[in-house]
Amino acid sequence: MPSPYRTLFTAPGTKSFSAAGLLGRMPLSMMGIGIVTMISQLTGRYGLAGALAATLAMSAAVFGPQISRLVDRHGQSRVLRPATLIAVVAVAGLLVCAQQGAPDWTLFVFAAGAGTVPSVGSMVRARWAALHRGSPRELHTAYSWESIVDEICFIFGPIVSIGLSTAWFPEAGPLVAGVFLLVGVFWLTAQRATEPVPHPRDPGGGGGSALKSRGLQVLVATFVATGAVFGSVDVVTVAFAEEQGHKAMASLVLAAYALGSCLAGAVFGLLHLTGSVTKRWLLGVCAMAVSMIPLQLAGNLPFLAVALFVAGLAVAPTMVTTMALVEQHVPRTRLTEGMTWTSTGLAVGISIGSSAAGWAVDGTGAEAAYVVPVVSGAVAAATAFLGYRRLGRPAPTRGGHGADERHHEDEQRVA
């Protein structure tokens, strides 16, 4: 492991909470694609499969920030366990109803209930932020590491989920995802020493939601369109692999997308970059948008895998830069909520993208349906351009104006 990453894990407890976060985040890449695979196998209806995945993502978008706001106030251990238990019970209900051929409305009810799954990635990043507050270089490396962990999940998650559902039984992928969630969250919340101190009252940031920050609004809006890219790529790729006669290969093709991001994130964490964080974020969003164009030319799975690998190179650096911008624009007492709002934007976008892609596949076929991620990427770039100026003004409520100025200067030097 390169030196900055090795140094990162010298602090006590860091290896354990990062490992627990890895396990708890696996459902992020397993659940939605597992539901698509399960429903498509049981019913052959990609429209229904995409709509259920969209319902799950939209529900998570509604519940996620509220759960994270409670975490900021009451602590991770008190909030995450009951929320996780509700999500796991809902997943179990969804699988039983799907297996028994229950009416469609029951599937949607349980898919919505599964949205209480907590944003484990935000919880782990909040632990790093508490540990390295005042050390922006170390925090940059930590965020880069967590982006690598995200991509590890997206490399292996779809492989495990699709592989289990196609080789074992249709419900196997979402079932194992639920087990990972339960074990990961309970392991993470058992580690009290590294848990951020809760803030029952918010003396410096005022009342209300972290989303009052205009900069955060730009990030979330852009991530809605970015999530539509991710959601549509997943659904269309599964359908395209099936049209090619190799549905199980969809997991490997999607893994190439995540692998490109993982490698880019690993390199990005080693760099000592200078210049504007905001300009770097804008460049990353535009690069992700442009990288969707070659997917329309995909005539076979090998070409698609290469195109997705190249597209993935822009993902992790953009995500790392986004976390740095969230840290600038959100009060520390609402940092977990702020990070979760970006995940919420992705979840809303995934719901839109997966649903639109499902209907596009049913109506036009998989290859033509790659127009959905292309359009989504264009919307993301346009949103980023329109909101660019708002990101140049960090919020002055992060514990005092002077403290915020010092923090912003540090970010500009090392991020």
* CA-closest candidate to residue 282, choices 383, 353, 372: 383
pLDDT at 82: 92
> CA separation (Å) from 125 to 23, 145, 252, 373?
15, 10, 28, 28
* Longest Cα–Cα distance in the chain: 61
Alpha-carbon distance of 121 to 140, in angstroms, equals 15
pLDDT at 392: 63
Domains of the chain by residue range: 14-193+210-414
CB contact burial 359-381 (16+ within 10 A = b; e otherwise): bbbbeeebbebbbbbbbbbbbbb
* CA-closest candidate to residue 376, choices 242, 232, 273: 232
If you count them, how many residues does the chain have? 415
pTM above 0.85, yes or no: no
What lies within 8 Å, CB to CB, of 373 at 6+ separation is: 228, 229, 232, 233, 236, 292, 295, 353, 357
168 three-class SS? coil
Alpha-carbon distance of 108 to 379, in angstroms, equals 28
Tokens linked to 169: 């039984």
CB contact burial 243-252 (16+ within 10 A = b; e otherwise): ebeebbbbbb
Alpha-carbon distance of 73 to 70, in angstroms, equals 5
* CA-closest candidate to residue 154, choices 266, 51, 22, 38: 22
Chunked into runs of 10 residues, the chain (415 residues) has average pLDDT values of 71 87 86 83 79 82 84 86 92 90 88 86 85 76 82 76 82 89 92 81 56 80 90 86 81 84 82 75 91 86 91 88 80 76 80 82 84 93 85 52 37 36
Tokens linked to 324: 């740095």
206 Rama class: left (phi>0) / alpha (psi -120 to 50) / beta = left
Assigned CATH topology for domain 14-193+210-414: Growth Hormone; Chain: A; (1.20.1250)
Alpha-carbon distance of 339 to 331, in angstroms, equals 11
Which helix (DSSP H) or strand (DSSP E) does residue 155 occupy?
A: helix 136-167
